[in-house]
Each structure stands twice: as structure tokens, then as C-alpha cells.
Amino acid sequence: MTTILGVLASGSGSNFAAIQAAIATGQLAARIAVVVYNNPDAYVQERAVAGGIPAVLVNHRDFRDREQCDAELVRVLKAHDVELVVMAGWLRRVTETFLAGFPGRILNIHPSLLPSFPGLHAVQQALDYGVKYSGCTVHWVTLAVDQGPIIDQIAVPVLPEDTVETLQARIQAAEHELYPRAIAIVLQERAS
């Protein structure tokens, strides 16, 4: 059974690329039907096009409010027959409209070991607090930001000399391993 994914990304799309690679190597029985991005200059658009995957811009600045924007997101994802929504660096909060469109079928990745350091600047928050380990989390999306049920996590050490950039790079490398692994868990649960 091949599950149809829709990826939402706001920036570079390195997580999208990791998921795409996992599909290409047969690690995931899935297909990415569409990439939706919200920033016109997001590099993920180029990555998607290079991979032959349709990329659709849904720019929140073009909408009256969040609900209107999310209604368009749901429309685009459904038009591509998406079954599982994968937020990969999607820097937007979701509304009831979005959740109702894909109930229990939206994943997100966050650059901390939730429930620690939810919200923006998670890497900076971890450094400021002085934790010795941080990491990344894939979780189900609910209305409460970064608080949905956890699917999987990877911990990484925080080194004394770390800056936001070096810790972020270590966490991102872990994300690229974690997201395909977490999606595999979800697909396995769907199949059984």
C-alpha cells in the first residue's frame, strides 16, 4: 500500500529531501504528491521541481485570515489526494479548519526534545537553559502548538562550545534520520 504524502515547508526543505530520499531507497512505501510552500523564495520549491514533484505556493499574506489560508491549504492537499500531511519546517500555526480537513493525519517536526522548548527559537531556548542534551521530535499536530502526541525522538548532545548554528546543524542531521523513521512508524500503524 502506497500512502500519498503532502509536504508543507517554509524554507530550505532539507527534511523534504530526506523524506524524498527515503522513498527513493524503498525505506518508505509512500509517494509525495505535492509540496506546498508559503514563502515565494523558499528553496524547497526548487528542490521539489528538480525532483519532479508539483510545488504549490500558498502565501498566507494573500489571505484575509488564517482560516481562509488553511481552507486553501486543505483544498490543494485534497486536490492531490493527500492522505498524510507532513509539516517539514512549516512555520505556521494550524487552525481548526486545517485539523478538520485532515483529522489525526498531520505530522510535525520540532527541533527540541518536547515537551521542552516548544514554540519559536527552540535551539536558542535549549542553549539558554543550559541543557546537556537536546534533539528533535516528530509528533501529531493538534491545536496546541508543539503539544500533540509524540511519535519518535532523537537526542543529541549539547557541547560546551556550541552556538545556535552548530547545535542547529547537529539537530538537523538528526531530523533527517528521524522524519523518515517516524513516518515509517505511522505507515506501519496504518497498515496493521
Q: Which residues bind ligand GRF (CB under 6 A)?
A: 9, 11-15, 88-89, 109-111, 172, 175
Residue nearest to ligand GRF (CB): 89
DSSP single-letter state for residue 147? -
Record the cell numbers describing residue 70, joined without a space. Answer: 488553511
d(CA 143, CA 122): 19
Burial label for 12, CB within 10 Å (0-12, 13-18, 19+), is middle
Select 38 or 172, whichever has its Cβ closest to ligand GRF: 172
Record the cell numbers describing residue 136, joined without a space. Answer: 528533535
Select 12 or 124, whichever has its Cβ closest to ligand GRF: 12
3-state SS class at 158: coil
Whether 60 is catalytic: no
Name the amino acid, one letter, at 156: V
Q: How far is the CB of 158 from ligand GRF (least distance, A)?
A: 16
Q: How far is the CB of 192 from ligand GRF (least distance, A)?
A: 28
Residue of 80, 110, 121, 139 with catalytic role: 110
Select 95 or 172, whichever has its Cβ closest to ligand GRF: 172
Catalytic annotation, residues: 110
